[in-house]
């Protein structure tokens, strides 16, 4: 009897995916509620045929070289800036992510942040909890209207579109900026208007970021971008922390360059600067945009199905570098 391929899973993931993996493979799961260190990850991948990892694990040429038995890396996330896909391709290591199953859940949270920031929900909650609320006041906790406001979506991909659909319920005027216009049908359906990023920043009451982290999007929102925004505007980030220059954002929130922000992601997770933590006009969440029971279950299942498809000879449901298959067959 040939032995089953071996898989290292870098955290306990939802059962939907884990049980599929266990049915098909010899599975080892990192048992701790913290990411493995680089050294631990390298050690755990020794002799393993596959790695199922989270966005907290950096998978680069060095790791792949140190764990040469690994043939597929399945990221349990849609964002894959933690993976060096080019290094994977060079080494003939197939990589996958989990697109398509978390769009609505992430859009829900982007909207939750937008609403919380606009209407100062967290600040007001704090007042009530501290027992210092002295009663109804006509000047208390004045925020900004969401209905009929202008929403600027930066990156009209799957998640950006899901955010635009929610905006219709609030009769918002929707602008979007992207590398190219989405096409007439999409614009008509979403009632969204394509504009250059600078115009979007100038005209929007809410700016919501939905771009992947790449060289071109690193610090896309920097001090000069923030200066273009309205003083009454709010910035919402559920994409990746480094898309925003966090230091410039702190300055903008401190100086009143913009009114508020809702953040789910940070430049150096899980570290958050003390300056950001001290600001009242920012809502801070611990990178939970896709964290619903159902969605995290689906994400883990997609990752497992990619690994299963790989060992069945492919093709993968959601590959990042299908060309790595060719590299594999050329070297093996």
Helix, strand or coil for residue 98? Answer: coil
Residues 289-308 close enough to bind ligand GLV by CB under 6 A: 290
187 is catalytic: no
DSSP states of 72-91 as a string?
A: EEEESSS--TTB-HHHHHHH
Please state, in angstroms and rounded to a whole number, the distance separating the CA atoms of residues 2 and 21. Answer: 17
Show the binding pattern over residues 250-269: x = contacts ligand GLV (CB under 6 A), - = does not. Answer: --------------------
What are residue 282's DSSP bridge partners? 261
CB of 102 to ligand GLV, least distance (A): 6
Mark the segment that binds ligand GLV (CB under 6 A) among 76-84, 107-115, 215-223, 307-315.
76-84
79 counts as binding ligand GLV under rule CB under 6 A: yes
User: Is 191 a known active-site residue?
Assistant: no
| Six-digit token string for 34 | 């913290």
Catalytic-labelled residue, pool 240, 296, 305, 328: 240
Q: Does 78 bind ligand GLV (CB under 6 A)?
A: yes
**Best CA proximity match to 55, nearest among 291, 292, 309:** 291
240 is catalytic: yes
How large is the C-alpha radius of gyration of the chain?
22
The H or E element that residue 94 is part of is strand 94-96
- The string of DSSP letters for 157-210 reads SHHHHHHHHHHHTTT-EEEEE-SS---HHHHHHHTEEE--HHHHHHH-SEEEE-
Q: Least CB distance from residue 322 to ligand GLV, whole Å?
A: 20
Shortest Å, Cβ 220 to ligand GLV: 17
Of 45 and 102, which has the nearer Cβ to ligand GLV?
102
45, 77, 153, 228: which one binds ligand GLV (CB under 6 A): 77
Q: How far apart are CB 55 and ligand GLV at their closest, in Å? A: 6
Nearer of residues 150 and 300 to ligand GLV, judged by Cβ: 300
H/E run at residue 8 = strand 6-9
The residues assigned a catalytic role are: 240, 269, 287
Chain positions contacting ligand GLV, by CB under 6 A: 55, 77-79, 102, 290
């Amino acid at each position: 009897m040939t032995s089953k391929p071996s898989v290292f899973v870098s955290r306990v993931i939802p059962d939907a995916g884990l049980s599929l993996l266990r049915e098909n493979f010899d599975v080892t799961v990192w048992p701790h509620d913290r990411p493995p260190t680089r050294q631990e990850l390298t050690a755990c991948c020794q002799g393993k045929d596959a790695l199922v990892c989270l966005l907290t694990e950096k998978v680069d040429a060095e790791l792949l070289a140190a764990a040469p038995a690994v043939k597929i890396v399945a990221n349990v996330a849609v964002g894959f800036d933690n993976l060096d896909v080019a290094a994977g391709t060079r080494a003939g290591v197939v990589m996958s992510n989990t697109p398509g199953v978390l769009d609505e859940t992430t859009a829900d949270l982007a909207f939750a942040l937008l609403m919380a920031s606009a209407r100062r929900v967290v600040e007001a909650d704090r007042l009530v909890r501290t027992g210092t609320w002295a009663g109804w006041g006509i000047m208390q906790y004045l925020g900004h209207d969401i209905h009929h406001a202008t929403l600027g979506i930066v990156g009209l991909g799957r998640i950006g579109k899901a955010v635009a659909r929610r905006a219709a319920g609030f009769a918002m005027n929707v602008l979007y900026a992207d590398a190219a216009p989405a096409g007439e049908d999409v614009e008509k359906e979403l009632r969204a208007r394509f504009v250059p990023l600078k115009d979007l920043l100038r005209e929007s009451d809410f700016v919501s970021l939905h771009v992947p982290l790449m060289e071109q999007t690193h610090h896309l929102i920097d001090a000069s971008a923030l200066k273009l925004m309205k003083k009454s505007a709010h910035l919402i980030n559920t994409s990746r922390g480094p898309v925003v220059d966090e230091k410039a954002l702190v300055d903008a929130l401190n100086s009143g360059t913009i009114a508020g922000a809702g953040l789910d992601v940070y430049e150096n997770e899980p570290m958050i600067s003390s300056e950001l933590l001290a600001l009242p006009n920012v809502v801070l969440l611990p990178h939970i945009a896709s964290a619903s029971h159902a969605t995290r279950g689906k994400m883990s299942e997609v990752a497992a199905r990619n690994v299963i498809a790989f060992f069945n000879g492919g093709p993968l449901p959601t590959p990042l570098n299908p060309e790595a298959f060719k590299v594999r067959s050329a070297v093996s």
